[in-house]
């Protein structure tokens, strides 16, 4: 399948993989900064965003699509940055095509993902719908954040309810949610029901890996991310306090500083990864 993709910048390539629901546009928090030093590649995965499909598919189809994308761009090696589901795909690509992966940046993800999300009530859905619609019309409106956002399901996605985070929700998350297909939901749910667990395989990944997570993440818990880091040979781990699954939108400056410092520390000696 030919994926819709956003390309920015020049230099050594970083493949940026979004989560569920999501799209390549949701990765601008990373690409708008990284593209100043690297070439960033942010595809819409199959069944997401503008990579629409009318057929059922499996999670492994994402891997085939991404290998074909790299081939079409004539990219032999890259760094992979993956957020949530994107991080799982990043690890899978590193296991499948180790010769093509120079490093991994994993955010809010785990090789054995575990959640602690409470049951969802009809009130949760109603308040989330109201908060989302109002936020789409008036992004970052403090009254809406306090009246509806903090009481909606957003309370499990973010801890720091800033107007900037709500602007991201309106401009990137809301359209991505509407564009996520039934087939994408089905593929992910099938994989989760089968009890996805790649911890025993992580010892085969030998590239430098940066693992970042939010302390209050209820979708993929910080404990799951920390467990993944312990199973990786070469890892750097950081847990951000008072943040949740969407922590890159809560504290973007801190996250991007940590990512750029890690890239400099691990790849500064590689001519391919220099500015």
Distance, in Å, from the CA atom of 76 to the CA atom of 89, rounded to the nearest integer, reads: 18
Residue 272 is predicted with a pLDDT of 52
Lowest mean pLDDT of 68-77, 181-190, 216-225, 261-270, name the range. Answer: 261-270
Longest dimension (CA), the chain: 55
**Using CA atoms in the order 223, 226, 230, 231, what is the torsion angle rounded to 10 degrees?**
80
pLDDT (average), residues 16-43: 97
Is the per-residue pLDDT at 270 higher than 70?
Answer: no
Read off the pTM: 0.94
**Burial classification of residue 17, based on how many CB atoms lie within 10 Å of its CB (0-12 exposed, 13-18 middle, 19 or more buried):** buried
Is the per-residue pLDDT at 156 higher than 50?
Answer: yes
Is the per-residue pLDDT at 273 higher than 90?
Answer: no
Give the percent of the chain with pLDDT over 90.
Answer: 93
> Which string of b and e fits 224-250 if b means at least 16 CB within 10 Å?
bbebbbebbeebbbebbeebbbbbbbb
pLDDT (average), residues 176-183: 95
Of the candidates 61, 43, 103, which has an alpha carbon nearest to the alpha carbon of residue 232? 103
Of the candidates 165, 186, 180, 158, which has an alpha carbon nearest to the alpha carbon of residue 20? 180
| Tens digit of each residue's pLDDT (9 = 90 or more) over 100-131 | 999 999 999 999 999 999 999 999 999 999 99
| Tens digit of each residue's pLDDT (9 = 90 or more) over 234-244 | 899 999 999 99
Residue 192 is predicted with a pLDDT of 87
Query: CB-based contacts of 195: which residues, under 8 Å, 6+ apart?
Result: none
Give the percent of the chain with pLDDT over 70.
Answer: 97
- Write the CA distances from 153 to 75, 120, 142, 173, integer angstroms: 39, 8, 17, 13
Higher pLDDT, 192 or 274: 192
């Amino acid at each position: 399948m030919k994926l819709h993709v956003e390309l920015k910048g020049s230099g050594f390539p970083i493949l940026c993989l979004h989560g569920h629901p999501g799209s390549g546009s949701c990765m601008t928090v990373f690409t708008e900064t990284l593209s100043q030093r690297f070439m960033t590649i942010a595809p819409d995965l199959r069944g997401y965003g503008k990579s629409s499909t009318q057929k059922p598919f499996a999670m492994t189809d994402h891997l085939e699509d991404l290998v074909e994308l790299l081939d079409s761009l004539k990219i032999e090696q890259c760094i992979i940055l993956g957020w949530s589901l994107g991080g799982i795909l990043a690890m899978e690509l590193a296991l499948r095509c180790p010769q093509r992966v120079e490093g991994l940046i994993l955010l809010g993800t785990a090789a054995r993902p575990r959640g602690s999300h409470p049951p969802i009530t009809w009130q949760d859905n109603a308040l989330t719908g109201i908060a989302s619609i109002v936020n789409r019309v008036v992004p970052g409106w403090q009254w809406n954040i306090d009246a509806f956002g903090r009481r909606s399901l957003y309370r499990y996605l973010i801890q720091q309810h800033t107007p900037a985070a709500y602007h991201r929700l309106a401009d990137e998350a809301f359209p991505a949610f509407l564009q996520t297909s039934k087939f994408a939901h089905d593929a992910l749910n099938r994989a989760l029901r089968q009890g996805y667990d790649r911890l025993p395989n992580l010892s085969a990944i030998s590239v430098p890996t940066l693992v970042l997570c939010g302390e209050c993440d209820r979708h993929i818990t910080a404990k799951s991310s920390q467990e993944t880091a312990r199973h990786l040979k070469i890892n750097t781990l950081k847990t951000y306090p008072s943040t949740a699954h969407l922590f890159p939108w809560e504290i973007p400056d801190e996250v991007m500083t940590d990512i750029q410092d890690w890239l400099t520390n691990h790849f500064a000696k590689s001519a391919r990864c220099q500015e």
